[in-house]
Amino acid sequence: MISGIIQSVNSEPFRDMFRHEVVIDNQKYSVYKKTQNFPHQIGESITLEITNPKARTAKVVSATQQPMSTAQVTSAFFQPPAAAPQPSVTATTNKDVSIIRQTCIKCASEYFANRQSVVEDVIDYAKRLEHYVLSGE
C-alpha cells in the first residue's frame, strides 16, 4: 500500500480504457479507468494498492480531500501543466474497427460494382480505405 498526496495526474488513452499516471512522492503509478477524467484531484490524500510491482500499476483504495500546506501547494500546483489527452486513432475498440471494415468493404464493393474487376481488387481497395480511415495517411 502506498499513501500520499497526489502531485500530478496525466491521462492518456490505452486500448479501450484510459491510463492515468498518478505521481505520489515523485513516484509514478499507473491506474486504469474506463473514464477519461481521473476521479481524484491534485492535492488529495490517496491510498493505492499495488497490483503489479513490475509495471507499477495500482488501484485506488481510498482518497480524502485535505487542506494543503504551502509546501504541498508549491509542489503540486507549480508543476508544468500536463497536456490534455488528445483523441487517438489507436484508442479505437474492436467494435469500431469492425464497423470501419464493414463500411470500407461496402464502399469498395459499390465502387467496383459496374467495373470489370476481381475479388482481390475489391479487397485491396477496402484495405486501403481502412488504412486511411484508421491512420489518416
Contact of 9 with 22, CB cutoff 8 Å:
yes
For residues 137 and 129, what is the distance between their CA atoms, to the nearest angstrom? 10
User: Residue 41, SS3?
Assistant: coil
- E-strand ranges in the chain read 2-14, 17-24, 27-33, 45-52, 57-64
Domain boundaries, the chain: 2-83, 92-135
Mean pLDDT, rounded, for 13-26? 81
pLDDT greater than 70 at residue 88: no
- 2-83 has which fold? OB fold (Dihydrolipoamide Acetyltransferase, E2P) (2.40.50)
| Residue 70: per-residue pLDDT | 47
For residues 101 and 126, what is the distance between their CA atoms, to the nearest angstrom? 8
Give the model confidence (pLDDT) of 40-80 as tens digits.
778 888 888 888 888 888 888 877 765 545 454 444 444 45
| pTM, rounded to two decimals | 0.43
